[in-house]
Amino acid sequence: MNAVTATHAGDHHDHDHKPKGIGRWLFATNHKDIGTMYLVFSCIMFFIGGAMALAIRAELFQPGMQFFDPGFYNQLVTNHALVMIFGAVMPAFVGLANWMIPLQIGAPDMALPRMNNYSFWILPFAFTLLLGSLFTPSGGPAGGWTMYPPLSLQSGNSFPMMIFAVHLMGASSIMGAINVIVTILNMRAPGMSLLKLPLFCWTWLITAYLLIAVMPVLAGAVTMLLTDHYFGTSFFNPAGGGDPVMFQHIFWFFGHPEVYILILPAFGIVSEIIPTFSRKPMFGYDAMVYATASIAFLSFIVWAHHMFTVGMPLAGQMFFMMSTMLIAVPTGVKVFNWTTTMWKGSLSFEPPMLFALAFLFLFTIGGFSGLMLAIVPADYQYQDTYFVVAHFHYVLVPGAVFAIMAAVYYWLPKWTGTMYDMTLAKWHFWVSTVSVNVLFFPQHFLGLAGMPRRIPDYNVQFTDWNVVSSVGGFVFGFSQLLFVWVIIKAVRGGPPATAKVWDGDMTGLEWSVPSPAPYHSFETPPDMH
């Protein structure tokens, strides 16, 4: 730790002189550089995962087998999920945390800059391992991102590669989480009490605790898979007295909090943007903090809603049904507060606000389908159909991903110092929002009609909605090139942005530094008393 602080202090001497060349990135300890690397990495993964998704939608465009054999199709589905969850969404949030948390709390940098560097540089190795497994003779992992045994054990050499990749991703996010917690708890500007903390920091603080609570459980579960396969243990092997269903319990004990890891920072982002463009303070700030905390707490006691159909006592089904529905209460509080913040506000619809509003509507649709899935007798019909696929894509794409895009459009001028092309960004918004619904809404119908998930072929009666969905998928996928174009244009140059960037009465500290934010900000902490 001493070494860490020493290097960190060293940075301060060459004030304003950025390290030169590739070394600036390889040995980066500056939170802004690391944040940028995370965001770029996430963007690359978003396109790799997106290419897999388009391959899936191409295969599903028509019934019958078109392009891939079923084994490769399963590899696509598995890797699409792993890449999007662990490679795109989570690193994007960590990147935003790196960039914004120190700026929002008035800290000179993250608390543990050296560890910050490691936690980023682990990721390219993890994903090289995971994606490299696709090129091994036995192909990549194909048993689903949930890695249920015994299926996941049957994927040849890619199995240990996937497990080690998951271990590395876990290590990276645990390090990132520890860094966030230490930064927020120890590095706040004097006078910034916890209940003055911006909501993005609050949601990240709680997310970070979720991460260190459940990523190690996932690491344990995949380690058990590994020892079952190579060292003759029988955690999940019935031949030795194990139970494969136990894997599902341990996995979802991680898995459900994980889905909140993917959404809580999004809640934080939306809670920053809606007040700005409503020109009103957040309605019910305290309630937002408590709602976030209760969602995080409840997320530990609902996991078995993912496995109602594997068999459990009636009392268990009732418990997990009720506790799942209970989550709708704090979530409802949040939706209510966002809506009330806009009430009688003087709204304007710049790209970040547009994305935040789409989030509000479309995430809520995903929440409703979640409630339907939580009803045990109904879930017996919905489980493993496209209805589940529609549910989690609504919460993850127009939910988490839209929030990330909203955040980029909100803070990009602070990063680049230039205003981006608003017209192009609005085009990006409208094309994405229309196409994402064309892509995912029909999947509700397909699921209710009984189309199973993770299958490359389907009965002909499902054709029409699959065609619609695939068309939406391709439009959505290609419209993301607009996003990259807007960003590249803004990085290259454009009209200079003011320190405050937006016309609103934001009080956040990030708006008190010039745009672009100087390489070293807040070397003397602002006084928040």
Partner 1 sequence: MKQTSNRGLVWRLVLFTAGSFAFGFALVPLYSVLCQVWNTGNRWYGKQTAEASVIERPVSDRVVTIELVANIPQAGAWEFKSQAPTMKVHPGKLYSTSFYARNLTDGAVVAQAVPSIAPQTIARYFRKTECFCFTPQNFAAGEGRDMPVRFIVDPDLPPDIDRITLAYSFFSAPQVAAVSR
**Residues with catalytic annotation?**
80, 109, 145, 172-173, 256, 258, 260, 271, 305-306, 331, 334, 453
Count of C-beta atoms within a 10 Å radius of residue 481: 11
> How far is the CA of 491 from the CAs of 46, 276, 285, 354, 419, in angstroms?
19, 24, 34, 22, 9
Segment interacting with partner 1 (CB under 8 A) among 134-142, 197-205, 209-217, 354-362: 209-217
In the block, residue with structure tokens 């696929």: 389
Residue 452 φ/ψ, nearest 5 degrees: -75, 150
Segment interacting with partner 1 (CB under 8 A) among 45-53, 219-227, 285-293, 419-427: 219-227
Q: Closer to ligand HEM at the Cβ: 379 or 421?
A: 379
181 touches, from partner 1, Cu ion, ligand HEM, none (C-beta below 5 to 8 Å by class): partner 1
1 touches, from Cu ion, ligand HEM, partner 1, none (C-beta below 5 to 8 Å by class): partner 1
Instruction: Identify residues 187-206 at the interface with partner 1 (CB under 8 A).
Output: 187
Structure tokens at 512: 């008190």
Give the interface with ligand HEM as residue ranges (CB under 6 A).
Answer: 146, 259, 262-263, 305-306, 324, 327-328, 331, 367, 370-371, 373-374, 379, 382-383, 388, 391-392, 395-396, 399-400
Q: Which of 217, 287, 471, 513 binds partner 1 (CB under 8 A)?
A: 217
Structure tokens at 241: 């007295």
Cα–Cα dist 312/332, whole Å: 29
Cα–Cα dist 299/211, whole Å: 12
Q: Closer to ligand HEM at the Cβ: 138 or 317?
A: 317
CB of 70 to partner 1, least distance (A): 18
CB of 255 to ligand HEM, least distance (A): 7
Residue 50: closest CA among 91, 74, 70, 79:
79
Instruction: Identify residues 238-257 at the interface with partner 1 (CB under 8 A).
Output: 238-246, 249-250, 253
Q: Closer to partner 1 at the Cβ: 150 or 450?
A: 150
Q: Closer to ligand HEM at the Cβ: 391 or 428?
A: 391
Q: Closer to partner 1 at the Cβ: 253 or 394?
A: 253
Residue 120: closest CA among 143, 101, 95:
95
111 near partner 1, judged by CB under 8 A: yes
Instruction: Identify residues 301-360 at the interface with partner 1 (CB under 8 A).
Output: 311-316
Cβ neighbours of residue 289 under 8 Å, at least 6 residues apart? 195, 199, 202
Contact call for residues 250 and 221 (beta carbons, < 8 A)? yes
DSSP 452: B
Q: Which of 21, 186, 195, 492 binds partner 1 (CB under 8 A)?
A: 186
Cα–Cα dist 463/419, whole Å: 44
Estimate to the nearest angstrom the gap between the alpha carbon of 335 and the chain centroid: 19
- Over its C-alpha atoms, the chain yields an Rg (Å, rounded) of 23
- Residue 427 exposure: Cα atoms within 13 Å on the Cβ side: 15
Contact call for residues 114 and 190 (beta carbons, < 8 A)? no
Give the interface with Cu ion as residue ranges (CB under 5 A).
Answer: 256
**Angle 285-298/264-278 helices, nearest 10 degrees?**
160
9 touches, from partner 1, ligand HEM, Cu ion, none (C-beta below 5 to 8 Å by class): none
CB of 75 to ligand HEM, least distance (A): 16
Cα–Cα dist 480/27, whole Å: 31
CB of 396 to Cu ion, least distance (A): 12
CB of 314 to partner 1, least distance (A): 8
DSSP 69: -
CB of 330 to ligand HEM, least distance (A): 9
215 near partner 1, judged by CB under 8 A: yes
Cα–Cα dist 68/382, whole Å: 27
Q: Closer to ligand HEM at the Cβ: 255 or 417?
A: 255
137 near partner 1, judged by CB under 8 A: no
240 touches, from Cu ion, partner 1, ligand HEM, none (C-beta below 5 to 8 Å by class): partner 1
114 near partner 1, judged by CB under 8 A: no
Q: Phi/psi class of residue 197: alpha, beta or left (left: φ > 0; alpha: ψ in -120 to 50)?
A: beta
Q: Which of 151, 182, 471, 499 binds partner 1 (CB under 8 A)?
A: 182
Cβ neighbours of residue 399 under 8 Å, at least 6 residues apart? 263, 266, 359, 362, 363, 366
Q: Which of 40, 51, 174, 499 binds partner 1 (CB under 8 A)?
A: 174
- Tell me, by CB under 8 A, how many residues bind partner 1: 45
Contact call for residues 144 and 306 (beta carbons, < 8 A)? no
Helix, strand, or coil here: 418? strand
Type of residue numbered 258: E
Q: Closer to Cu ion at the Cβ: 207 or 337?
A: 207
- Print the binding letters for residues 500-519 with partner 1: x by CB under 8 A, - otherwise: --------------------
Type of residue numbered 30: N
1 near partner 1, judged by CB under 8 A: yes
In the block, residue with structure tokens 């209970």: 326
Q: Which of 216, 284, 516, 525 binds partner 1 (CB under 8 A)?
A: 216
Q: Which of 88, 169, 214, 395 binds partner 1 (CB under 8 A)?
A: 214
CB of 448 to ligand HEM, least distance (A): 13
Residue 266: closest CA among 213, 324, 203, 209:
203
Which residues are near partner 1 by CB under 8 A?
1-2, 5, 111-112, 150, 174, 178, 181-182, 185-187, 212-221, 224, 232, 234-235, 238-246, 249-250, 253, 311-316
